[in-house]
Amino acid sequence: MQKQAIFQYIDEHRGEMMALWQELVNRESGSADKAGVDKVQDRIKNILEAEGALVRMVEYEQAGNMLIAEIGGDRAKAPVLFSGHVDTVFKTGTVEKRPFTVRDGKAYGPGVLDMKGGVVAFLYAVKALRAAGFSERPIKMLLAGDEETGHLASNAAEVFVEEARGCAAAFNCETGFVDDAIVVGRKGVAGFTMEVRGVAAHVGNDPENGRSAIVEIAHKLLEVEKLTDWQEGTSFNVGVIEGGTVPNATPDYAKIRIDVRFVDENAIPKFTRQIEAIAAKTYVPGTTTTLTAGASFKPMTTTEGVKRLFRLVKETYAENGFGAPYEKAVGGGADSAYTVIAGVPTVCAMGVKGGRNHSPEEYAIVESLFERAKLLAACVLKLNSL
């Protein structure tokens, strides 16, 4: 059977998979390190070209490049899509301090879970499918180089939508959960930066002429936090505040960074107007405020197609003794939103399982690398029943 051949291929290449995982984790590719991200993309390009893939790079000046690859593009059936990203949240130099290591069945290192393990899993699902003679439909792959920054300096979100159109199903190999949750919905994410300019003054000799940027931003911060509407599903968080230099001077500069999470894309104009109104109001005369929009993700909507694909994943789990997955909607954004926008049934969090991503304690369960590669390939075999 084809599935048995696929599983055997993965079992026989466990050492090779671990070696690639280690190699990718030990390659610096923080979102701000364009050169590092591009080198990782080039390495994956070489791997896929060796498998017969046609590979294109969308190049960006201020963001990591995006990889687009396809195998069997002339096949009659609609393609299956694997997607993800190769950038991490970690600064250059992290690898030297915390390289890839394995302890007690868990792998550690920057990006080991989010999401270089997921990249290795789908690469070997593709390799195994080819080795077993799979030729029913094209296999397409999209890898962003700037996901962690919300594609702030690229058009990768639009590329995802355009390239995904017409696919039969999409598997986003983002961070997997240890309890086998499969993500079928995600909130959207929007970021704003609010900066206040005031007037500096010596608080002992000239206090009446100072105009405190910190006091102004404090008023605005509290107003932003009041906007949260749990019933609507829109939440506001001021997660960063900066300002001032010394305690004996009126601060002439202050800044906050705002994170907004939302369920419905139609909420965007409303909360944007709300934040703009707060920025426009002056609490401390003589201060001025600037508002800048930052990184954003559209919501991943739980469509009927998404639900059908989840059922296929659940059946595949049961058939192969992988456990009992369940549907989960989460607050974190991801590029799975854009494949759903393209009309493609999509499931997310199909990468290696683990926890503590974006932290020094980020880890992935080693055995899940092989299980998820098998799961992804087995799901592709079942797509005709979708």
Residue 288: which of 187, 177, 386, 213 has the closest Cα?
Answer: 213
User: Could you write out the DSSP letters of every residue in 279-348?
Assistant: HH--SSTT-EEEEEEEEEE--B---HHHHHHHHHHHHHHHHHT----EEEEES---THHHHHHTT--EEB
What are the structure tokens assigned to 184, written together?
A: 């079928």
Distances (CA, A) of 65 to 74, 120, 156, 171, 214: 26, 18, 9, 21, 39
CA atoms within 13 A of residue 4's CA, in its CB half-sphere: 1
- Annotated catalytic residue, options 33, 38, 87, 114: 87
- Annotated catalytic residue, options 70, 147, 148, 195: 147
Q: How far apart are CA 373 and CA 371, in angstroms?
A: 6
CA atoms within 13 A of residue 136's CA, in its CB half-sphere: 13
Cβ 193 vs Cβ 275: under 8 Å: no
Q: How far apart are CA 336 and CA 265, in angstroms?
A: 15
DSSP, collapsed to helix, strand or coil, labels residue 379 as helix
Q: Is 51 a catalytic residue?
A: no
Q: Is 74 a catalytic residue?
A: no
For the annotated catalytic residues, the residue numbers are: 87, 147
